[in-house]
Amino acid sequence: MKGTRRIQVTGGATYIVSLPPEWIRSSGLKKGSEVIVRVAGKHLQISPAAEGKIVIQKTLLINGEPDVYEMQRAMTSLYIAGFDTLIIRSGRYINKTIRDAVTRFARMVMGVEVIEETSNAIVLQNVIRINTFPEESAIRRMILMIRTMIEDVIKGLRTEDLDLLKNVIERDAEVDRYQWYIYRETRLMSEHASSNTFNLILSRILERIADHSVNISSIIIKGGKKGARQAKVLLEFLEFSYRMFEDAIKEFYADDFTEMNSLIERKLDIVKMRDSFLFRNNGRNSGLNMLLVEEITRIGFYSTDIAELSMDRMASSVDTLVL
């Protein structure tokens, strides 16, 4: 649903614009209904207030004894698709395995609570939406979590602290929660602001960087204290990739085209550092370090992806781009 509307002025200082009647009808609104207006950069997002909001109810029917993983995946998909109420219903009764899976799912995602249980049904309700927790806030929380994850990987490697690395792995689930939330809200709000698309892509990149931090921790833990000592030769490489990540996040919000371009060109530095390690230590690399090199390289590459995304985001919001 696209179209243009002319801005008018009333009372000398109040700007007004008409809303598409099709959207009014499909949203269940009428004269006197309230809407939520939210500023997102140069865009405005308009959504129905609670009283005019269409309630989305979805149902997951369970036949027999479902595979727990498939059930979790189905509930996650329904969450991303967007629901206000989700009913998990069984033709017979819901056993402990199914109840535990539903409970785990409610902990895995943001803003979902169990509000009712019977012998053959469990009702979940979504209690948080973008007007109370903006996706920009979720993005910044993701950035903070990933920053501390990588810092703790560096610290854990430097001090051979395997417990700290295990803690990094445990934090990955929290990053996933934010990414699914952003995915869902972007899908629901995509018609109202193109900035949502960039937030969605950024959240996916951040989630991948978190995965690589977890992979690094897992590889070192498998090698034990001896593996941690061997892996210390890669500290400089890991710290360099982390600095690239920090710079990329800074530029995502700075709108500095020159700096973005400079950061993208640093992908060559990542390649050189990777190749330098591989060839300098040819024949003497442990399998553990070979795996770590690839994981660290991916963090650097994803950081340049953030810079490229920043350029796309900036270009979409200006009429003239100055080099």
By three-state DSSP, how is residue 116 classified? strand
Whole-number pLDDT of residue 13: 67
Whole-number pLDDT of residue 272: 92
What mean pLDDT do residues 51-59 have? 68
131 pLDDT higher than 80: no
Q: Which of 61, 17, 13, 8 is nearest to 35 (CA)?
A: 17
User: Cβ contacts of residue 318 below 8 Å, gap of 6+?
Assistant: none
50 pLDDT higher than 70: no
Alpha helices in the chain (DSSP H): 21-26, 68-81, 96-108, 135-159, 162-189, 195-231, 235-254, 257-265, 267-280, 287-316
Whole-number pLDDT of residue 124: 93
Q: What is the pLDDT of residues 200-211, one digit of tens each?
A: 889 999 999 999
- Reported as type and span, the H/E element at residue 39 is strand 35-40
* Phi, psi angles (nearest 5°) of residue 25: -70, -45
Whole-number pLDDT of residue 175: 92
For tokens 């080099």, name the residue: 323
Instruction: Extract the tokens encoding 119.
Output: 């012998």
Q: What is the pLDDT of residues 111-125, one digit of tens each?
A: 899 999 998 999 999
Whole-number pLDDT of residue 282: 56
Whole-number pLDDT of residue 59: 87
Q: Which CATH number fits domain 135-316: 3.40.50.300, 1.20.58.220, 1.10.1530.10, 1.10.645.10?
A: 1.20.58.220
Q: What is the pLDDT of residues 138-163, one digit of tens each?
A: 899 999 999 999 999 999 999 999 99
The dihedral through the CA atoms of 190, 194, 199, 200 has a sign that is positive
Domain range list for the chain? 20-49, 57-126, 135-316
User: Cβ contacts of residue 297 below 8 Å, gap of 6+?
Assistant: 241, 270, 271, 274
Residues 247 and 17: their CA atoms lie apart, in Å, by 40
The answer to which of 20-24, 50-54, 176-180 has the lowest mean pLDDT is 50-54
Confirm if 288 and 223 have CB atoms less than 8 A apart: yes
Buried b (16+ CB within 10 A) or exposed e, 203-223: bebbbbbbbbbbbbbbbbbeb
Whole-number pLDDT of residue 1: 55
323 pLDDT higher than 50: no
Residues 281 and 98: their CA atoms lie apart, in Å, by 51
Confirm if 32 and 15 have CB atoms less than 8 A apart: no
Where is pLDDT greater, at 285 or 305? 305
By three-state DSSP, how is residue 234 classified? helix
pLDDT band per the 50, 70, 90 thresholds, residue 49: low
Beta-bridged to residue 37, according to DSSP, are: 46
Whole-number pLDDT of residue 321: 47
Q: What is the pLDDT of residues 250-300, one digit of tens each?
A: 988 887 777 888 888 888 999 999 988 887 765 455 688 889 999 999 999
Residues 166 and 225: their CA atoms lie apart, in Å, by 13
The domain 57-126 having CATH identifier 3.30.110.20: the answer here is: yes
> How many angstroms separate the Cα of 96 from the Cα of each of 101, 102, 104, 216, 217?
8, 10, 12, 35, 33
